[in-house]
Chain A
Amino acid sequence: MQPDTEAALASLIAGASGKIAVTGGGTRRLDAVAGEPLSTAGLTGITLYEPGALTLVVQAGTPLDVIETTLTTENQRLPFEVPDLRGLLGRSGNSTIGGTVAANASGPRRIQAGACRDSLIGVRFVDGTGTVVKNGGRVMKNVTGIDLVKLMAGSQGRLGVLTEVAFKLLPVPETAATLVLHGLDDATAITALSSALTSPFDVSGAAHWPGHGTFIRIEGFATSVAYRSAELQRRLAGFGTVDAAADDPWPAIRDVAPFHGAAGDVWRLSTTPSQAPALVARLAPRQALYDWGGGLVWLLTDEGFDLRAALGPFAGHATLIRSHSALPTFHPEPAPIAALTRGLRAKFDPRGLFAGAL
């Protein structure tokens, strides 16, 4: 099924009798979903782009690269630095903006510019009853009614099929610089990153790649980047020599390149930076990669290793991103939260068309 219009999509869903597997570019889906494939490839195109107001409204099936190319012409970008997980997951194809929103996919700049959900200002979607719903709009501030925009971000296509999404954008900064510290153990590295992130120098990337270095990114106007780099170098001097990084490590960190092609399961751990090194030490993974100042940890583990059981209770959650095991993809939720999730899914998709975990 590949409807060309929102109306056609709505009538398809209204008339559906079995499970539906909503597919954007097919580059990221984690949990296998049985059901008739429903492609959003027919719903493409930029509806509105206003560079002077930093706003973009776009059809959900539009490939990400089309959007990125368009924004480049005006020297603007999506603030949340979408990761490209094809290499990690062994997929081909082109991610769509709808799939990106459905996954709330956010890269290293999350710590400074927010997640995908923070830039998302409007949605249109077709729910499981075939009803078209709109929420939010094309303005930065909007508190009119219940915020379904946030609810749809990260909903993994379980509440409805997004047809159109609106974003606020950011200008591409004049320049960027990356500082690197070498040879730090995990705990010291996270302390160094916290020190950078608690400075007034507006860090837009803070990651620790064991064996490669501890990285700090600063973006902005050239004079300001030079000034802040120097200040950060001074501030971090106690942790060792602070160099300017020779190459740009951020695409590799963003896309979890260190694990590409490596055997084993891939987990994504969300927690507080301070807790992260101890948790990782307890798990003794094959490899670890810390982003978001330590708040996001990618782990490469033995196949079928139940990381959640090994972690015990902690502040955060773990998602199984790549595996052949039968372990659940998503972290089990506490009972009262799970009840709310079930309740919402039952309301938006009463016939249970949009199958899948979560």
Chain B
Amino acid sequence: MDMPLPDASVIARRSRILARLAAALPADALISDPVETRAYECDALTAYRCLPLAVTLPRTTTEVATILRLCHEEGVKVIPRGAGTSLAGGSLPTADAVVLGVARMNAVLETDYPNRFIRVQSGRTNLSVTGAVEADGFFYAPDPSSQLACAIAGNIGMNSGGAHCLKYGVTTNNLLGVTMVTMQGDILQIGGPFLDAGGLDLLGVICGSEGQLGVVTEAWLRILPKPEGARPVLMGFASNEVAGACVSDIIKGGLLPVAIEFMDRPCIEATEAFAHAGYPDCEALLIIEVEGSPAEIDDQLARIKTIAQRHNPVAYRESRSEEEAKRIWLGRKSAFGAMGQMGDYICLDGTIPVSELAHVLRRIGELTASYGLRVANVFHAGDGNMHPLIIFDANKPGDLELAEALGADILRLCVEVGGCLTGEHGVGVEKRDLMHVQFTRDDMEAQLRVKDVFDPDWLLNPAKVFPLDVTASRRVA
């Protein structure tokens, strides 16, 4: 993975830039000591690291605007950062850039139940948004597995999803508005506490733009009343094909579970050895969760059972209690930890049409064998978002490169069958060089034009998302 050479003129002006930032900000908002900036040298894609020029940790939108205006004047690049849990290197610094972290901006600004929204500063963690409204019977629907740590800022940056987005959608479907600061330091309000914003859908473009268009400082989020209850069922199948067909029949049957999780044999075996959840010995396993009142849940589970039985499940386990529900989820929730025990791993994030599931799993198996590696699959089956985990040995020379090459092949396969390179983790630097696989030059050019409008000097979050050759002329300008 290549990164452009740092801008020598910026590096040469480092002390002047730091002095200006220090003069404009409260004392604790600027970090420039390399010992302290080390904490910001990477995100959750730890294979790539780089110390930034400096880190700024503002507390207000006005301070964010000050930092951006100043960096714009000095021609300094800026890396917007939430909690740094991106798995795609989306908040990886460069040596000539200032990290702008919003983690200290974590206040709840307004909760409005009759109108069903909450307004928060963007550094607030995902889980604590629900935390703020839970006691009153509400929740914020998008629930990435990293929700304890990740911030709304990064959720908006990556348009994050979670296990429950089959029913409730991803971030873009639950975001009503933002306060955003442009690279030039202008403060904008886009959307607001209403459903239809009118005009061009700028909010839709900002969501998922990976810090390319501006720094989000506040967000209006849709909150929903909590369902009365939820209950999972677990079923095992003799093949991936059969499990895939069962998923599609359930969806066709008019059922809308909140989650349909799929695990393949390697994943089941790894999880069992690690968490001992008592999962059945089978080729493929589904965990399906439905919501409602106790009677509604019973009714939905009965319908799911009827459909599942047509596919001769080798195991069928309905939870009858909190305790049983926990056991059903236990393995799934420890899946990533379990794979960690098997070695180092890369977590992919491709998306495929659900109808291609069996074919894709078969091809992944073949590809993996040809590379001499191991892959385990766990994914959100309802929406085709796959997370193949490629297991490798970081201490073995060449193994990481081999794993990355296999990962690229798997993502190419996803695109080939009609899917895409990333369903929720984003492109970042990780998938940047694969963008050619999914998009023509013209397709990418159209996206670059949006960046041209919001960030004409190309200073925000440099060298992410778009292949370097495609952006070269803009980056020198």
Contacts and interface: CB of A to CB of B under 8 A. Distances in A.
A56 to B, nearest CB: 12
Interface string B212-235: 100000000000011110000000
A142 B227 CA distance: 27
Given A50-B355, A172-B254, A315-B192, A145 B444 contact: yes
B299 A344 contact: no
A139 B384 contact: yes
A154 interface: yes
Among A139, A197, A319, A336, the one with the most B-chain Cβ atoms within 10 Å of its Cβ is A139
A54 to B, nearest CB: 6
Interface string A315-335: 111010000000000110110
Interface string A112-145: 0011011000000001000111110111111111
A147 interface: yes
Contacts of B186: 336
Interface in B251-267: 251-256
A55 B296 contact: no
Contacts of A251: none
B280 interface: no
A194 to B, nearest CB: 4
Nearest to A190: B114
A248 to B, nearest CB: 20
Contact of B225 (A75, A133, A200, A347): A200
A153 B204 contact: yes
Given A147-B205, A154-B200, A140 B446 contact: no
Which of A144, A274, A333, A341 counts the most B-chain CB atoms under 10 A from its CB?
Answer: A144
A149 B440 CA distance: 16
Interface stretch (A21-29, A89-97, A219-227): A219-227
Interface stretch (A30-38, A61-69, A265-273): A265-273
Contacts of B380: 141
B75 interface: no
A174 B158 CA distance: 36
Nearest to B160: A143
A295 interface: yes
Q: Which of B189, B196, B454 is most buried by chain A, counting CB atoms within 10 A of its CB?
A: B196
Contacts of A174: 254
A14 B76 CA distance: 38
Given A137-B420, A340-B453, A198 B114 contact: yes
A215 interface: no
B34 to A, nearest CB: 33
A273 B466 CA distance: 41
B159 interface: yes
Contacts of B228: 200
A191 B212 CA distance: 41
Given A114-B173, A148-B450, A348-B446, A334 B200 contact: no
A144 B194 CA distance: 27
A177 B110 CA distance: 34
Nearest to B451: A146
Interface in B71-112: 112
Contacts of A149: 204
Given A145-B465, A224-B292, A135 B248 contact: no
Contacts of B58: none
B453 A317 contact: no
A146 B205 contact: yes
A75 B252 CA distance: 9
Interface string B430-447: 010001001110111111
Contact of A347 (B212, B382, B443, B452): B452
Interface of chain B: mostly helix, strand, loop or mixed: loop
Given A140-B384, A146-B212, A147-B172, A115 B195 contact: yes
Contacts of B447: 135, 145-146, 148
Contacts of B439: 134, 144-145
Contact of A141 (B165, B204, B438, B466): B165
A341 B384 contact: no
Contact of B453 (A227, A272, A344): A344
Contacts of A172: 254
Contact of B204 (A147, A341, A344): A147
A144 B114 contact: no
A110 interface: yes
Interface string B3-36: 0000000000000000000000000000000000
Chain B interface size range? 35 or more
Interface stretch (B49-57, B61-69, B325-333, B421-429): B421-429
A198 B161 contact: no
Nearest to B431: A144
A143 B443 contact: no
B198 interface: yes
A337 B384 contact: no
A198 B224 CA distance: 7
B116 A198 contact: yes
B243 interface: no
Nearest to B423: A141
A52 B384 CA distance: 12
A150 interface: yes
Contacts of A344: 200, 449-450, 453
A245 interface: no
Interface string A246-290: 000000000000000000000000111110000000000000000
Interface stretch (B270-278, B281-289, B346-354): B346-354
Contacts of A227: 293, 295-296
A158 B201 CA distance: 12
A343 interface: yes
B193 A155 contact: no
Given A104-B201, A273-B115, A137 B169 contact: no
A72 interface: no
A7 interface: no
A220 to B, nearest CB: 8
A78 B346 CA distance: 37
B170 A141 contact: yes
A292 interface: yes
B204 A316 contact: no
Contacts of A135: 443, 446-447
A1 interface: no
- Considering residues A106, A149, A273, which has the most beta carbons from chain B within 10 angstroms of its beta carbon? A273
14 contacts: A50-B355, A52-B355, A53-B251, A114-B173, A131-B442, A142-B351, A143-B158, A143-B427, A144-B439, A150-B205, A158-B200, A227-B295, A316-B194, A340-B188
- Lowest 8 A-B CB distances belong to which pairs? A150-B204, A52-B248, A141-B423, A343-B453, A171-B254, A140-B383, A347-B449, A146-B447
Interface of A: 50-55, 74-75, 104, 106, 110-111, 114-115, 117-118, 127, 131-135, 137-151, 153-155, 158-159, 170-174, 191, 194, 197-200, 202, 221, 223-224, 227, 231, 270-274, 292, 295-296, 315-317, 319, 330-331, 333-334, 336-337, 340-341, 343-344, 347-348, 358
Given A223-B299, A317-B197, 16 more contacts: A53-B354, A53-B384, A135-B447, A137-B419, A141-B384, A141-B385, A141-B424, A142-B422, A143-B424, A144-B431, A150-B172, A150-B201, A171-B255, A172-B254, A316-B194, A331-B198
